[in-house]
A and B are shown apart, each in its own frame.
Chain A
Amino acid sequence: MLAEYTGAVVILAVALVLASALLGIHLLVGPRRSFAEKDEPFECGERPIVSPHQRFSVKFYIVAMLFILFDVEAVFMYPWGALFTELGWFGFVEMLTFVAVLAGGLAYVWMKGALEW
């Protein structure tokens, strides 16, 4: 009755086995030595000087958001790439227009200084 899901179940099983195997082998085989420096956050004797619970600079968010925006636009290039020869010059010009509009957005972001750290 649920034979349709055989594939999904196999993938799930492989994922579970693989993940637990990687973690399990590490637990079983890996060496285990404990000393004072090893128990510190950086595990090497370097002392943390401030609390790790700090707010991130807003610049991280801006860069991350810009990345997401331009990254996701690339999704439109995959169908075009798959049919590149069939679409011919028409598709090429269309994609150039699309990229030009994106470049306009990038130029705005750049000139506004949002990419400067």
Chain B
Amino acid sequence: MNAPQLDMAAIAPLAFAAFGALFVLLGEVWLTRRRTNEHFINAALSVLSISFLGLSVYCAGAAFSDGTTRVFDPANPMLSLDRFAAYSIALIGIASLLICFASISYLPQVGINHGEYYALLLLSTAGMFLLVGATDLMALFLGLELMSIPLYVMAGFDRRNLRSNESAFKYFLVGSFASAILLYGIALVYGVTGSLGFDAIRAGFPPGNPIGIVGLGLLVVGFAFKVASAPFHQWAPDVYEGAPTSVTAYMAITVKVAAFAALLRLLTQAFGPVTASLSDLFWVLAALTIVVGNVMAVIQTNLKRLLAYSSIAHAGYLLIGFATGTVEGYGAVLFYLLVYVFTNLGAFAVLMALAQGGRDCDTLDDLAGLARQRPGLAALLTLFALSLAGIPGTAGFVAKFFVFESAVASGQTVLAIIGVLGSVVSFYYYLRLPVQMYMSEAATETPRRHAATGELLVLAVCAVVVLFLGFFPSHAPGVLGAVRALEWARSSVAMLY
């Protein structure tokens, strides 16, 4: 047998992240055995991870502008780096990279300054890269597990803290349960098509076969668990609340991008001919998720729980795009994910910058009087809250507009109305943040630390993106703006067909 012709460029982003994890892991023990200053170790490992992620993002960016589809092993296509994968990889890579920046000062503040954090983060990111590039159900399952297993550990990273333990434990139980359901779905799909590759499934999936329908249903349920869509969302608030804030940010943002991107590819490349029949299922999921997320968020007093329900509601808006089943709808989803990453990351970065002395800033009361003590952070958190709510002038508005527009264009007017009503409810709980910061004073004044350079960098990047995409929905060709970003997203989706 001859050696297969492999295209190493197709796995470059994945390889950088995975080998980066190995380097960071070995670097951690090597450095700690030399008993160097632990703040130095933390910063060094963070910079190492950032450089590996930077290389991944660079490769993905080059592949995106190149526009060609590279398949790792053309004789047996399981993994490819195409425009869609490159877009998702770049998005996930940038989010992970920014979280590494913010973690440099956050981890010592809450006393979980262990280098394995970065290795786990890189491994999980590698899993996401595999997940979004997978064109075979085997690669998809491996990517999903490689993404999830390090995350279970990261959720419990503060291992002396009972809440963190519980968070890890719940995430593990729900996550592995969802994986098992998804795996059984893969088994049934394999049963009716005799193949695990997306192309073969597309060619051979029998539309009316009950086993095939059950298999596809189990796959969707597995993904619904992973993206925390109602009625499979109950784990999310608990897990998000208990985990350290940087981990919460990581799982709220990147997991959602990776899981939605993989679902999108699965539904178009593998199940394209039968996706229309799923429209009603996604309609129900989207409506339920929007209602549950927004209503439950109203009664929360814990910031991380509030952001958890908010991220559930955002999953609902994203599912609207899936209910349309059109290229415009999917393109709007991909653009929404871009905005979601930067808006949510900004909000979480403010919370990370407010953590100090071994304590997370996680209740609404912790925000009282922030406007006077740290006016800059208060203004930024207000901006991100407004963008999450979708106030015109912010990126959040543009993203929601595109999604609702695609829904109306494909005749899902009722769903768009539910989405708009949900957004109106969401104004109430998002505006509680600025009200708390600007209008109430803390009962006991505690001095707050200054935000570190890494956190400031993350905040600056997120604020610029949110304002830029919000203020310049430029139609002029060649000019960077929301419309151009939407074109990128659409062209990425269009190549899946």
Contacts and interface: CB of A to CB of B under 8 A. Distances in A.
Q: Do chains A and B touch in the complex (CB under 8 A)?
A: yes
Interface of A: 86-90, 101, 104-105, 107-108, 111-112
Contact of A112 (B1, B4, B22, B29): B29
Contacts of A87: 1
Interface string B1-23: 10110000000000000000010
B33 interface: yes
B1 A111 contact: no
Contact of B4 (A90, A101, A104): A90
Contacts, number: 21
Given A111-B29, A111-B33, A112-B29, A88 B3 contact: yes
Contact of B1 (A86, A101, A105): A86
B62 interface: no
A85 to B, nearest CB: 10
B26 A104 contact: yes
Given A104-B22, A108-B26, A111-B33, 10 more contacts: A88-B1, A90-B4, A104-B25, A104-B26, A105-B25, A107-B26, A107-B29, A108-B25, A111-B29, A111-B30
A28 B179 CA distance: 51
A107 B30 CA distance: 10
Contacts of B29: 107-108, 111-112
A69 to B, nearest CB: 12
4 tightest Cβ-Cβ pairs between the two chains A and B: A90-B3, A111-B29, A104-B22, A86-B1
Interface of chain A: mostly helix, strand, loop or mixed: helix
A112 B29 CA distance: 7
A109 to B, nearest CB: 9
Contacts of B4: 90
12 contacts: A86-B1, A87-B1, A88-B3, A89-B3, A90-B4, A104-B22, A104-B26, A105-B25, A107-B26, A111-B30, A111-B33, A112-B29
Interface string B83-103: 000000000000000000000
A107 B25 CA distance: 10
A86 B4 CA distance: 13
A112 B3 CA distance: 38
A106 B475 CA distance: 55
Interface in B212-241: none
A110 to B, nearest CB: 9
A54 B22 CA distance: 38
B77 to A, nearest CB: 18
B128 to A, nearest CB: 19
A64 B481 CA distance: 55
Contacts of A108: 25-26, 29
B20 to A, nearest CB: 12
Nearest to A108: B25
Nearest to B29: A111
Nearest to B22: A104
Instruction: From A86, A88, A104, name the one whose CB has the most chain B CB atoms within 10 angstroms.
Output: A104
Nearest to A112: B29
A105 B23 CA distance: 11
Interface in B19-42: 22, 25-26, 29-30, 33
Contacts of A88: 1, 3
Interface string B230-262: 000000000000000000000000000000000
A112 to B, nearest CB: 6
A101 B3 contact: no
A101 B33 contact: no
Contacts of A89: 3
Contacts of A101: 22
Contacts of B22: 101, 104
Contacts of B3: 88-90
Nearest to A83: B1
B453 to A, nearest CB: 30
B157 to A, nearest CB: 16
Nearest to B30: A111
A75 to B, nearest CB: 14
B6 to A, nearest CB: 9
B387 to A, nearest CB: 41
Nearest to A86: B1
A108 B115 CA distance: 12
Contacts of B30: 111
A101 B4 CA distance: 22
Contacts of A111: 29-30, 33
Nearest to A113: B29
Instruction: From A88, A89, A107, A108, name the one whose CB has the most chain B CB atoms within 10 angstroms.
Output: A108
Contacts of B26: 104, 107-108
Interface string B149-191: 0000000000000000000000000000000000000000000
A1 B465 CA distance: 69
A88 B4 CA distance: 12
A86 B1 CA distance: 6
Nearest to B6: A90
A101 B146 CA distance: 15
B73 to A, nearest CB: 12
